[in-house]
Structure 1
């Protein structure tokens, strides 16, 4: 007879999330090669977004029903929610590029896409190290610093792009479209940085 419920491996669930995060970032990267064939990417992004929602729901459910969790429940909720935000933002970017009928990407947006692909890749590595955080502290610290550096680069890029958007006298509708896309992709980097801070807090609490 089982007196205690089976323990949920939350770290495996977060590793599933890491795979979805990296896959989403790589999917967005494909826009640099084929922005004019975005329709197929929209479907793939939607599938990844639904998968992320399923993982998030499972994490919430297991957190609510687990007798013991490896880290604070509040941290589990925050981490899952922020990771879900990243996938939602990427799906929204890919979808809106299609809705807006954009066939050619702004040069700085291409740079941003490259930057988010790097950031989401590093973030996935960071999440995968959570399970054995005590063994990988130096690697974790390096990844957190890199993610912060990428986010700072994003801040510089968006300032430059907004200056260009308004100085090039573009159609106001086009300006609105691009401002939305740039703000969303900057938010991807912001949320990645937020996850890195959450991981840092988790390590401090549990070391």
Structure 2
């Protein structure tokens, strides 16, 4: 019955393009964050942080469009709850990446350690997998791509936990400036929260996969 229903359901021309835009945009945000953290020139860093902010606003607009389409359309390509959850999870990734970049600028964090760069690199990897998986929602023909991407995202989140916890432990051991310790710890934890949101998105994708594959 499920196959028959899918045969007669009109091809989705609204949600999938928006989700693909959201996936592409969140990857661009993660890349802009990595450029910001890797930049040694402060003006260049500010430029990349501004780009993170711009892309976060673009992501907000895409999320709003998805929710608007959800309110207007009775037939959806998969469960309405999953559409809402996936859109929210991708938007949360962008929000936490933006928060990380903003905190670096607001707190005037100039000492960007290896741990912060490693977390940003993990975010790029996870967002790359997320974008690939979202594209496969168009047809569900290559479900292994989605499943493998989710596994890698979950693994990336575990790595991020380890990197963040180790970096904070070293801060408490070696950083004698209490204010600097607080600033560094805040940025590290916000970056790690962004990886948590990637895992949340992967969990939604796995739920969609189970229901529709």
Taking structure 2 as the reference length, the TM-score comes to 0.89
Preserved CA contact (<8 Å) 2:12 2:77: no
Preserved CA contact (<8 Å) 1:18 1:127: yes
Range with bigger deviation, 95-104 or 194-203: 95-104
Deviations 1:50-84 (A, max 9, x none): 11111111110110110211111111111111111
Which runs of at least 4 in structure 1 moved beyond 6 Å after TM superposition? none
Preserved CA contact (<8 Å) 2:14 2:69: no
Q: Tell me, yes or no, if structure 1 residue 181 matches structure 2 residue 181.
A: no
Aligned counterpart, 1:197: 203
Aligned counterpart, 1:3: none
Counterpart-to-counterpart distance in 2, 1:118 and 1:157: 15
Q: Tell me, yes or no, if structure 1 residue 28 matches structure 2 residue 33.
A: yes
- Residue 103 of structure 1, aligned match among 110, 121, 134: 110
Q: How many residues align?
A: 201
Q: Tell me, yes or no, if structure 1 residue 12 matches structure 2 residue 17.
A: yes
The alpha-carbon deviation at position 47 of structure 1 amounts to 1.1
Aligned counterpart, 2:50: 43
Counterpart-to-counterpart distance in 1, 2:118 and 2:50: 24
**Partner-residue secondary structure (3-state), 1:129:** helix
Counterpart-to-counterpart distance in 2, 1:8 and 1:101: 44
Aligned counterpart, 2:156: 150
- Residue 169 of structure 1, aligned match among 143, 167, 175: 175
**Partner-residue secondary structure (3-state), 1:68:** coil
The alpha-carbon deviation at position 49 of structure 1 amounts to 0.9
Larger relative contact order (Cα-Cα within 8 Å, sequence gap ≥ 6): 1
Aligned counterpart, 1:94: 101
The alpha-carbon deviation at position 8 of structure 1 amounts to 4.7
Name structure 2 gaps, 5 residues minimum: 1-10
Counterpart-to-counterpart distance in 1, 2:39 and 2:18: 32
**Partner-residue secondary structure (3-state), 1:101:** coil
Name structure 1 gaps, 5 residues minimum: 1-5
Taking structure 1 as the reference length, the TM-score comes to 0.92
The alpha-carbon deviation at position 33 of structure 1 amounts to 2.8
Counterpart-to-counterpart distance in 2, 1:159 and 1:104: 18
| CA RMSD of superposed structures (Å) | 1.5
Counterpart-to-counterpart distance in 1, 2:37 and 2:51: 16
Counterpart-to-counterpart distance in 1, 2:176 and 2:75: 56
Preserved CA contact (<8 Å) 2:36 2:49: no
- Residue 77 of structure 1, aligned match among 65, 73, 84: 84
The alpha-carbon deviation at position 90 of structure 1 amounts to 0.9
